[in-house]
Amino acid sequence: MAERVGVYICHCGSNIAGTVDVEEVARWAGENIKDVVVSKDYKFMCSSLGQAMIEEDIKKEKLTRVVVGACSPHLHEKTFRTACKNAGLNPYLFDMTNLREHVSWVCNDKEAGTAKAKALIAGSAERVKYQQPLEPSYVDVHPATLVVGGGITGLQAALELADAGHPVYLVERSPSVGGHMAQFDKTFPTLDCSACILTPKMSEAGQHENITMLTYSELEEVSGSVGKFKVKIRKKARYVVEKDCTGCGICMEKCPRKIVDEDFEAGLGYRKAIYTPFPQAVPRTPVIDVENCTYFQRGKCKVCSKVCPTNAIDYEQQDEIIEIDVGNIILATGWKLFDCKKVPQYGYGRLANVYTNMEFERLCNAAGPTGGKIVMRDGKTEPKSVAIIHCVGSRDVNHNAHCSAVCCMAALKFGHLILEKTNAEVYSFYIDMRTNQKQYEEFYQRLLEEGMHFVRGKVAEVTDAARNPDEQGKLIVQCEDTLLGKQRRIPVDMVVLMGAIEPQADAKELGLKCGISCSMAGWYTERHPKLDPVATMTEGVFVAGTCQGAKDIPACVAQGAAAAARVQGMITKGKVMIEPIVASINEEACSGCRICNNLCPYNAIEFDPVKETSHVISSMCKGCGTCVAACPAGVITGAHFNNQQIFAQIDGVLWDAKPAGGNGGAAAKAAEPEPVAS
């Protein structure tokens, strides 16, 4: 029996109708494509009226297949599948043609656009006839969640979930949670003490009955899929037994080896070879830095072991692999600072009194290496003038195109702190002042009133080459002041570079482990930039905070909470639908060559050593089709993407290129002797 196909062409307002003659496409499809019994166009097919029209036609016209030509399936495939289902048609007997992203948005010739739309619709209409009814399956959602990254974003996500009663594994790669926020002095624009608002959250997470905190640990491997991920975590050897350590700190006090702390103190302070990054660290258990420990390097010392009152030091400790089951994963892996040495004309690393923003945070911090005194590298002289240079590595075609979002406000904060703590003049060299969140513009006004100087222009260079006696011994900031329209040279004592927020160096690698992708720059890609900012294209994997893009603390906290809310929804629902679009292996014809086993990116193919054949674990299969293409015997079929369906679609797309009078399409040759439409 011939299928009865309904074709629906959406105007999408003028989005599609502007460059495609939608009425003509609908008319043409109705008159020219075999088995099409209804063909209509409509202003907004995704509206409830549009959906109702399709549902009504399915019932009234007894449609057995539906094609909608509209926007991307990412947006509305689900909508129309549901409409089909509501009308009693299996949702997989529907196909969606992308006439917007694939035609109207990439085309400005209406005639050509209309022709392409016709070809794509013909492809869908031919393909849909060979589609088969499929039934989704459901898996239970494991109630535990993995949160990767213990900065403010990860802490927020973990606490939200834990407070709601769900178990959380919080994995952090450094020895303590807290992230960059723990390094800051004040937060803008309220000037709250950063540590004072952060540390309560850190200790709450550390003590929470529902949170298993795994610090000094890294994500090793992720397998499985939404609802039932299996995760391997490498817990690096601390050489201190956590359950025995009381965190008294005697070992750190007595350790004879002092080294420059390049991480927490940004190179301005020191730590011991056995250390916690900072006094309020959570957990309080220190770690031994093997690279710098005298015992590990020379075989002698063991001072920490001798002084430890609870014998918690264990030099023989090994890395441990912990395997856990979780239903969902939240990545909150944060950012790294731009290497300011990449802008050599600003002199960082060459001119002593040029600082990075992170160095300056430590310099301002009362718990920092100078006790919060703003002094120059000599450790005692207070600067009489400070220049703050914005956009170092941001908004720069040579480095990062993006705006780092926080630097303008951080620069204003620095300005305030310098004016408060010293008698210095403060100059801000900015390109555009970006203060567009709540109370931010007001803070800018406050700094204008406090007397911070603002020079609009990109700094050409920071140099110590003086041209006159006034410049002697100073750092001279050379800049075109674009408001005055002239070059200025401003001699200062200290320069602070507002280095860009960059994606973590290993973001791509970690993303791959979790099956999500990064933008070219290295930010994790969200499912939808506006409407689904914390979900990803992989079900059950969420992203939050600066790993998704540069943002400030309030935005990070909001995203951490948002990701937690999404996960809670999954847990509350308890079950998650698994798409039936999966591969299957005809085991009778399988030769057991195992080529597919290693190619599967989701480890969804298992080999049965008794039968000597492979089979697909359908709950883990994502339907990518790699194995289908690779099987040398051609015995793997991808549901919803079988050869017959694809060849029929090709035939349809090439409707005007067919040999005259023949229906000798490839689809006919590809499979069953079902008659093929012309």
Rounded-to-integer distance, Cα 166 and Cα 162, Å: 5
Rounded-to-integer distance, Cα 497 and Cα 346, Å: 8
The residue count for binding other proteins (CB under 8 A) is 11
Q: Looking at beta carbons only, is 391 or 582 nearer to other proteins?
A: 391
Q: Looking at beta carbons only, is 345 or 487 nearer to other proteins?
A: 345
Q: Are 548 and 157 a contacting pair, CB within 8 Å?
A: no
Q: Are 203 and 282 a contacting pair, CB within 8 Å?
A: yes
Q: Determine, following the binding rule CB under 8 A, whether residue 658 of this chain makes contact with other proteins.
A: no
Binding residue (CB under 8 A) for other proteins from 466, 558, 599, 630 = 466
Counting Cα atoms < 13 Å in the Cβ hemisphere of 640 gives 20
Judged by CB under 8 A, the stretch of 28-36, 137-145, 456-464, 528-536 that binds other proteins is 456-464
Judged by CB under 8 A, the stretch of 78-86, 246-254, 375-383, 457-465 that binds other proteins is 457-465
Hunting for tokens 């600072």 — which residue is that? 337
| Smallest distance, other proteins to C-beta of residue 347, A | 8
Rounded-to-integer distance, Cα 613 and Cα 633, Å: 12
Nearest to 626 by CA among 605, 647, 648, 649: 605
Q: Looking at beta carbons only, is 187 or 353 nearer to other proteins?
A: 353
Binding map of other proteins across residues 265-294, x = CB under 8 A, - = no contact: ------------------------------
Helices (H) and strands (E) in the chain, counts: 18, 34
Hunting for tokens 């995704």 — which residue is that? 46
| Smallest distance, other proteins to C-beta of residue 394, A | 17
Q: Which residues 6+ apart lie within 8 Å of 15 measured at CB?
A: 71, 100, 104, 105
Greatest alpha-carbon pair distance for the chain in Å reads 97
Kindly report the three-state secondary structure assignment for every residue of 383-446: CCEEEEEEEECCCCCCCCCCCCCCHHHHHHHHHHHHHHHCCCEEEEEECCCCCCCCCHHHHHHH
Q: Looking at beta carbons only, is 467 or 658 nearer to other proteins?
A: 467
Binding residue (CB under 8 A) for other proteins from 101, 461, 481, 506 = 461
Q: Determine, following the binding rule CB under 8 A, whether residue 312 of this chain makes contact with other proteins.
A: no
Please, which of residues 342-371 interact with other proteins by CB under 8 A?
Answer: 343-345, 347, 350
Q: Looking at beta carbons only, is 67 or 475 nearer to other proteins?
A: 475
Per DSSP, helices labelled H in 104-209 are 110-128, 152-163, 194-207
Q: Determine, following the binding rule CB under 8 A, whether residue 463 of this chain makes contact with other proteins.
A: yes
Q: Determine, following the binding rule CB under 8 A, whether residue 465 of this chain makes contact with other proteins.
A: yes
DSSP state of 278: S
Q: Looking at beta carbons only, is 115 or 387 nearer to other proteins?
A: 387
Hunting for tokens 């166009």 — which residue is that? 41
Q: Looking at beta carbons only, is 57 or 493 nearer to other proteins?
A: 493
| Smallest distance, other proteins to C-beta of residue 494, A | 17
Please, which of residues 325-344 interact with other proteins by CB under 8 A?
Answer: 343-344
Q: Determine, following the binding rule CB under 8 A, whether residue 464 of this chain makes contact with other proteins.
A: yes
Please, which of residues 74-133 interact with other proteins by CB under 8 A?
Answer: none
| Smallest distance, other proteins to C-beta of residue 414, A | 24
Binding residues vs other proteins (CB under 8 A)? 343-345, 347, 350, 461, 463-467
